[in-house]
Amino acid sequence: MSDGKRESAARAADQGETAETAEEEGGPGPETSGAEASGKGATRTDATGPGTTGPEATGSPEAEPGEGGAEGSEGGAGDSGGGAAGGAEPAGKPEPARKPAPARRGRIAAAVGILGELLITAGLVLALFVVYSLWWTNVLADRQAEKRGDRVREHWAADRGPGDLDTRDGIGFLHVPSMSSDDILVMKGTDPKELNQGIAGYYTEPVKSALPQDQSGNFSLAAHRDGHGAKFHRIDKIDKGDPIVFETKNTWYVYKVFKTLPQTSKYNVDVLDPVPKGSGATKRGRYITLTTCTPVYTSKYRYIVWGELVRTEDVDEDRTPPAELR
């Protein structure tokens, strides 16, 4: 074998090894063009197969190995693309699983929201009830008492009614300058339905009250301290020696406070006796007793004020009040 043939055979063998290496790496050998490696199903021809000479396997004898390598790279890229398109994607970093919606937290938040709304509503209702109890009931009771008081004075002016004591719309008016500037209408009874009319009532039970014109006894009265007119709201402003005046159709009855009892049991009815126990009085006389609830805004105890009649005055044509009211 001549030296030229030996070189051709060696070159062919080297090219065959190169092709096998390229095939193992996933791309065609230097002999395969990019078009042949594009995935059309063409079969690679063995460069050293029977009947194939070295020049036929390598293409043009002048082709440089570098050019063939470039073509092989392009072909490898084509095969790689085809593999990526036709096969499964390579396994990468798994995408983190999404957490399910916090249903439990949402239910708790909804429950808290509903509870908050209920508390706000309850607060508003309570506030409205307080306004109604302590203010609006005063407005309504004062209007009603004023109308009744006007009717009483109209009866007196028209000289109607059974003499000195007219009990149809009230028996008279209580004046306590140190407690209130109002003329407090006095009617029969101390049940809430009477006192809620914005008046003071005289007791019929458990101890029956005397009346001002009686020669002895205890003229005992009650009224609300808060709400429904709150006629005795400032009873704690009454001091020993202060005047209490009761006005009837024909007479002014002037009393003088001699004792106060800031707190006693609401079951203590002895304070209403004809000679009231706890007042310091020891003999029968003509007394007046004012009672109401205490502390303010509660009805746990009773606040008591006692007075004793010091004189009476006839009512003149102008109904001039006594000196204690001027």
Six-digit token string for 84: 């990526």
The answer for residues whose C-beta is within 8 angstroms of residue 47's C-beta and 6 or more apart is 12, 15, 16, 19, 29, 31, 57, 58
| Residue scoring higher pLDDT (181 or 55) | 181
Per residue in 210-237, pLDDT (tens digit) is 999 999 999 999 999 999 899 999 999 9
The answer for residues whose C-beta is within 8 angstroms of residue 3's C-beta and 6 or more apart is none
Lowest mean pLDDT among 26-40, 193-207, 277-291: 26-40
Which positions are annotated as active-site residues? 293
Closest CA to 180 of 106, 92, 242: 242
Task: Using the structure block, give the residue that is written with the tokens 């001699």.
Answer: 258
Query: pLDDT band at 31, cuts 50/70/90?
Result: very low
Task: Supply the Cα-derived Rg of the chain in whole angstroms.
Answer: 58
pLDDT at residue 316, rounded to an integer: 93
Query: pLDDT band at 94, cuts 50/70/90?
Result: low
Percent of the chain at pLDDT exceeding 90: 48
pLDDT at residue 276, rounded to an integer: 97
| Residue 177, pLDDT above cutoff 90 | yes
Per residue in 270-303, pLDDT (tens digit) is 999 999 999 999 999 999 999 999 999 999 999 9
Pairing relationship of beta strands 301-314 and 251-265 according to DSSP bridges: antiparallel
Domain architecture of the chain: domains with CATH? 3-82 (no CATH), 135-325 (2.40.260.10)
Closest CA to 252 of 264, 244, 261, 260: 244
Closest CA to 185 of 195, 177, 214: 195
| Residue scoring higher pLDDT (188 or 18) | 188
| Residue 248, pLDDT above cutoff 90 | yes
Lowest mean pLDDT among 98-102, 115-119, 226-230: 98-102
The answer for residues whose C-beta is within 8 angstroms of residue 257's C-beta and 6 or more apart is 238, 239, 240, 241, 242, 243, 244, 305, 306, 307
Task: Using the structure block, give the residue that is written with the tokens 């043009």.
Answer: 60
Query: pLDDT band at 95, cuts 50/70/90?
Result: low
Measured CA to CA, the distance from residue 170 to residue 260 in angstroms comes to: 26
Indicate the helix (H) or strand (E) that contains 260: strand 251-265
Residue 303 φ/ψ, nearest 5 degrees:
-105, 130
